[in-house]
Structure 1
Amino acid sequence: MAVVGEFFADTANARRHPTVVECGWQLVADGDESLLQLSTYGSDQRASGKKVSQTLQFDREALVALIQIARQSFPGLE
């Protein structure tokens, strides 16, 4: 679980993951700024109850970069 500092284009082979999970979001106050927190939850098939698997936090600068990556990756995205 971490605050994302920067992005880079990964060249490793990747495939779609077989499991679909839920993702919660919330704003986290951090002094004068806010962080967007995304938390994924284990699949419905998980033996234990619903709980957070991973959490990432993004400050404004990281979100701007992520939006640019999304627009490059999915042309026509507004």
Structure 2
Amino acid sequence: MALIRRFIELHGQGSIHRSETDAGWANVPYGEENLLYIGTYGSAERKSGPKPSQAIHLDRERAAELIRILKRVFPGIEHDAS
């Protein structure tokens, strides 16, 4: 598990994964703050079955930064009803 310290824009380094997974999230108390926990699960095709794989935490500042990134990548997302 890791607390995201900062986001760094990568140019030309993204790739598309061929599998899909589920992700869980939770509001985690952290002192007088909250953290957003996001955890992904291994592929359903795994021999041992799906199990927790990767996990990150976002504090308020990183969450705000992620919102800005999402709005940049997906213009108009705040008006998307889905």
Instruction: Report the TM-score range of the alignment, normalised by the length of the smaller protein.
Output: over 0.9
The residue type equivalent to 2:49 in the other structure is G
For structure 2, which runs of at least 5 residues remain unmatched after alignment? none
For structure 1, which runs of at least 5 residues remain unmatched after alignment? none
Please give the secondary structure, in 2, of the residue aligned with 1:21: coil
The residue type equivalent to 1:48 in the other structure is S
Matches within 5 A, 1:1-78: 1-78=1-78
- The alignment's TM-score, normalised by the length of structure 2, stands at 0.89
Between the two proteins, what is the percent identity of the paired residues? 40
The residue type equivalent to 1:58 in the other structure is L
- The alignment's TM-score, normalised by the length of structure 1, stands at 0.93
Q: Distance in 1 between matches of 2:66 and 2:14?
A: 19
RMSD: 1.0
Please give the secondary structure, in 1, of the residue aligned with 2:47: coil
Q: Distance in 2 between matches of 1:50 and 1:63?
A: 27
